[in-house]
Structure 1
């Protein structure tokens, strides 16, 4: 620690209340002030302070302590320089984390002091706001919420309101009549507040929320027609009558030798059935072979070992989605497994090279005689295919989506509606929304019809959202920042402290 010993040298000091000069010293005491560190070494200033008597008979102050401008202030234990540094640490890290960092920087301080400095920070007034973004975030998910207001032109949050009720937002909007555009999600409370308190503003429904609502409707459609998808998938997997029957897949390793797990299953199946023939119980066999009881029971209940091998050798793998592409490249003349591995890896394959090697060996040996059909997709996976731009789909996803669309006319129609709605968003053709809604109503798809009816309830904001360049995108980004700040404090910050940290531009 570096210590400075000093004292003031002024002959006379003015009374802080009546401003009269006094030169009569009443007494002295030592004051300790923490200052900015030298390197990482703490610095303390030990200042001898004098108390003066006020010479004005009409002043209620009897004695007062002298203050040194730029160094001391009443009751302060830090210099102004150190106070500013600690305030910056508090803005970035708040309590305990800020105290740990300050201690390592040679500025030991209590967490409560940092929080006190943070609460005393001066917040910048928002000024005039033309384009406003509104969204909610959870203080305690499912129970307590707050509303975040963002100036979209200045790209910064300007206020945090308690709750998410229409009345709270409306009172804030009434004090800002200059607002011209309000970007919001599809929450009815914010729409009601905007209509009541800011009728001059154009409301814009966020495009991402519209797309997300459409995705939920499409997922319900896929789920209700999943029987069609399953039937189409089974039809695609039926082998050609003229094609030769292929032997079991996956029983050989990449070198053409029987896989260890295949030999182990065959041996265990043989031993279990031998002991059963001798009259042994399942419990006894489990002890003798050191196997789990339920595994022994599974072996005992399966007379044909090939039924056990199916689950091992033909279970779904990471390579299944890429087998159609590998088969196509193989038939084109590319037989180099390393080259094919690099190609599927560039397409997103996350498996090992050995899986590709094994599959290419099977193709060379004639085990695979027809292109494999894609695995049966779950509704959520099929939804991702439908909602992804066609140019960004991988080859196996294109094939999977083709089978989904071919499963039944309703699914093909749903995909067309999704792509038409995507065109409205990309080309900002909000004026064509009602034509799209009419097509959906004529399609007979209940979930999409329900989504379309919801658009009509908020049609002005939806049309504006599909036509305008403004959206709630950066509001969602600010909400992500708010979640980081909230979770960095383990969710224990009260709203006033959380509001200060959100609004400070650190």
Structure 2
């Protein structure tokens, strides 16, 4: 503890000392002299200023203690540290290419282990993209006896308003994707495309990195809205005789509805032309919900979640096969069956799953470390714990500490 907090504590202990004096004393504290790296070393990055400045923390996996903090997250500082501190037999790291290169250069004989948590999260990111591309399968097919007559459909404002808006969004997405991809083929940089099309850099990067336009349209088609979770309640209250839109908006706002009263009025307008409201449509699950169902243990899903997932799988062969691929990878990871990785990769690459193909390419680039991660008992869990501790220390200093002071507090605390 240093700075103002240390000065306050010293005052309570009967010693008056200035905060700058405490900071100077902390910076002058001697550090443990390391001559050898621990046998099992953990490496991960942390943000000094998110998106701009980063550092690297090195952790002794056997003790869980941070042993050093490096400036930056490039390959050379790590390689230099490993050359100055030989002895690491196993290096646990995430999927970052810089750490792989640094470990290979600085400790070529060490076994690199890709952390299972990062592997699973990376798989989850690709699964979410695949689920978003097939979100049209979430909506159950209407029953024949519930299909409204033609004249009713013509007079239903909800049907005549929603579709054109969605079509405009789809058309704009297709045109924007074609324009960005055409400029990329002409050799234009992302910055140049931003200037030419007057678009934000994040938007251009997302469109440029999409393998197909369907990957983007998955987020534009069949989207749910803020009112969907509350439609069954509105139908129930309407059937009970409560038809005032303002009153109904107040009631669902108390249930955490965040939309406007006008949205409720538009939805209820067709009801006023009918003797009884139509049956409430089932709420369509969100992409992240379905992704979560695929990534969680089947035993952790309740009966309704299992039913919805089974319905979606029955309507979408792609998501059905995706589920099986995820299950196979999870089994391989939990049972430490890294010897089955090549078989899993071959099965995925022979299937029509573009998102998993991208995941497989990354796995093959880091094949040895991934195989070790799926086989050996080591992980970066203790490294992640130290990263969280660094975040807490940064918050105590309001993010104003320079690297030298932060390093002292991390290593010596």
TM-score normalised by structure 1 residue count = 0.57
Whether contact under 8 Å (1:266, 1:305) holds in the other structure is: no
Matched, 1:176 2:85: yes
Whether contact under 8 Å (2:59, 2:383) holds in the other structure is: yes
Whether contact under 8 Å (1:374, 1:400) holds in the other structure is: no
Measure how far apart 1:249 and its partner are: 4.0
* Pair 1:224–1:157, CA change in 2 (3 A): same
Matched, 1:470 2:374: no
Q: Partner of 1:360 in structure 2? A: none
Q: Partner of 2:46 in structure 1? A: 137
Whether contact under 8 Å (1:131, 1:182) holds in the other structure is: yes
Q: What root-mean-square deviation, in Å, do the aligned CA atoms of Structure 1 and Structure 2 show?
A: 3.3
Query: Between Structure 1 and Structure 2, whose CA radius of gyration is higher?
Result: 1
Give me the whole-angstrom Cα distance separating, in 2, the residues matched to 1:266 and 1:492: 49
Aligned residues: 316
Give me the whole-angstrom Cα distance separating, in 1, the residues matched to 2:29 and 2:144: 68
- Tell me the SS of whatever aligns to 2:236: coil
Deviations, residues 65-101 of structure 1 (Å, cap 9, x unaligned):
xxxxxxxxxxxxxxxxxxxxxxxxxxxx321122223
2:17 to 100, 109, 112: 109
Q: Partner of 2:399 in structure 1? A: 491
Whether contact under 8 Å (1:130, 1:178) holds in the other structure is: yes
* Pair 1:297–1:385, CA change in 2 (3 A): closer
Measure how far apart 1:267 and its partner are: 10
Question: 4+ residue stretches of structure 1 with deviation over 6 A?
Answer: none
Q: Partner of 1:23 in structure 2? A: none
1:437 to 341, 345, 354: 345
Deviations, residues 245-266 of structure 1 (Å, cap 9, x unaligned):
x99842289xxxx57xx15449
Deviations, residues 217-245 of structure 1 (Å, cap 9, x unaligned):
11111111112222xx24479769xxxxx
* Pair 1:181–1:266, CA change in 2 (3 A): closer
Give me the whole-angstrom Cα distance separating, in 1, the residues matched to 2:66 and 2:111: 20
* Pair 1:492–1:235, CA change in 2 (3 A): same
Q: Superposition pairs for residues 119-134 of structure 1, below 5 Å?
A: 119-128=27-36, 129-134=38-43
Q: Partner of 2:303 in structure 1? A: 395
- Tell me the SS of whatever aligns to 1:467: coil
Measure how far apart 1:130 and its partner are: 0.6
- Tell me the SS of whatever aligns to 2:58: strand
Q: Partner of 2:237 in structure 1? A: 251
2:289 to 353, 363, 381: 381
Query: Whose strand fraction is larger, Structure 1's or Structure 2's?
Result: 1
TM-score normalised by structure 2 residue count = 0.70
Matched, 1:212 2:121: yes
Measure how far apart 1:442 and its partner are: 1.3
Query: Whose helix fraction is larger, Structure 1's or Structure 2's?
Result: 2
Matched, 1:165 2:132: no
Measure how far apart 1:310 and its partner are: 6.6
